[in-house]
Amino acid sequence: MKQKSEFEKELIFPIGEDNRAYADYFAGNSYLNMLSLKQVVIGSVTFEPGCRNNWHIHHAKSGGGQILLVTAGRGYYQEWGKNPVELHPGDVVNIPPEVKHWHGAAPDSWFSHIAVEVPGEGTANEWCEKVTNEEYGKLK
């Protein structure tokens, strides 16, 4: 498994800082590099192997949702009630508003994506329960 310094060489954007602001909503360590806070909120999020965020929902009265642009490593995305989808560099995930989901690294790989918050009216994120070790343990 790659060390952090090795994985950083693969990244398009710098890894950023420890993601302390959202640490309560992640199992494992992640890093956040905010790329834009104007017009459209865009962040580069990097997950250590085994790190994933909690189930969550991007609410919106209109518009909203999130787009993930996978830039490095191997990870997963899963919508509530559906099977997980394995992600690789170049994959794009369009997450509509009101869809409960999680995303994060594979157990044996670093993972990085650009997260684009789709503008909308009345947007808010709801953080839900953790992805259980049993759920996560079923991944490849």
Alpha carbon of residue 102 to chain centroid: 7
Query: Is 111 in contact with 73 (CB distance < 8 Å)?
Result: yes
pLDDT for 140 equals 76
How many Å apart are CA 134 and CA 73, to the nearest integer?
Answer: 23
Q: Which of 43, 131, 55, 58 is nearest to 96 (CA)?
A: 58
User: What is the pTM assigned to this prediction?
Assistant: 0.96
pLDDT digits 0-9 by tens, 16-54? 999 999 999 999 999 999 999 999 999 999 999 999 999
Q: What is the mean pLDDT of residues 107-131?
A: 98
pLDDT digits 0-9 by tens, 76-102? 999 999 999 999 999 999 999 999 999
